[in-house]
Amino acid sequence: MANHYFYAVMLPEALKQKLQQATAGMKSSLPFQRWVHRDDAHITLAFLGAAEEAQLEKANRLIADKISTFRVLPLVFDHFGTFGKKEQPRVLWAGIQESQPLFDLERMVAGCCLEAGFSLDRRPFHPHITLARKWGGDRPFAAGMLDRYLPEPVPFSADRIVLYRTNLHKTPKYEIVQSFRLADAQNLK
């Protein structure tokens, strides 16, 4: 099976630690079948699937040319949610407060990927951090099950985006191929 690639916001270690603490209690009472390794936590910007080296290089060049106009992102993790059927969700995720700079960054990365010849899923961008997959409980999932885990808002700064390669038979699964630093306020022209 070919490796798949995707661009994502890399999360700081402090946030990964908070997410790990939050999910520790969930694991015993929310029977999802697969929990994401803490080092695989990220915010996906563009999923590419299998890719040719030349396409990846072109997308990387385009992103490198434009990334300097983006500042470090001040973001806030403040809720949990699910995707899929209400009573049998396929994904449990940590939510990020709405951030226009994050949406602008996603639009830039997606545009570069399209220009490099990739076909992207064009569903609306819903920034999130996947925590677990595939509900495996005997009883139906209910949104109220997440209420006891509601977090205090956790502000964090995202200072880079990365191109990840998937390695399905390794843990963690995602390997950094290329990294792009967002500009610090002092480094902006």
Least reliable range by pLDDT among 54-58, 116-120, 185-189: 185-189
Cis peptide before 172 (omega within 30 of 0): yes
- 188 pLDDT higher than 50: no
pTM (2 d.p.): 0.93
User: What's the confidence (pLDDT) of residue 189?
Assistant: 40
Query: Which residues are tagged catalytic?
Result: 42, 128
Q: Which comes out higher in pLDDT, residue 183 or 93?
A: 93
Give φ, ψ of 111 to 5 degrees: -60, -40
User: What's the confidence (pLDDT) of residue 132?
Assistant: 97
Domain count, the chain: 1
User: What digits encode the pLDDT tens for the residues 128-147?
Assistant: 999 999 999 899 999 899 98
For 162-177, give the DSSP string. EEEEE-TTSSS-EEEE
Query: 122 falls in which pLDDT band (50, 70, 90)?
Result: confident
Share of the chain above pLDDT 90, in %: 85
Characterize the bridge pairing of strands 32-35 and 42-49. Answer: unpaired
Q: Which two tokens stand for residue 2?
A: 């070919």
The Cα–Cα gap between 34 and 85 comes to 17
Q: Which two tokens stand for residue 189?
A: 């022209």
The Cα–Cα gap between 181 and 67 comes to 8
User: What's the confidence (pLDDT) of residue 114?
Assistant: 97
The residues with which 183 forms a beta bridge, in sequence order, are 71
Cα dihedral angle (49, 173, 77, 6), rounded to 10 degrees?
-20
pLDDT mean over 41-63: 97
CATH of the domain at 25: 3.90.1140.10
Q: What b/e sequence results for 163-183 when a residue is b if at least 16 CB atoms lie within 10 Å of its CB, and e otherwise?
A: bbbbeeeeeeebeeebebebe
Q: Residue 137's domain spans which residues?
A: 5-187
Give the three-state DSSP class for 2.
coil
The Cα–Cα gap between 17 and 41 comes to 10
Q: Which comes out higher in pLDDT, residue 93 or 3?
A: 93
- 101 pLDDT higher than 60: yes
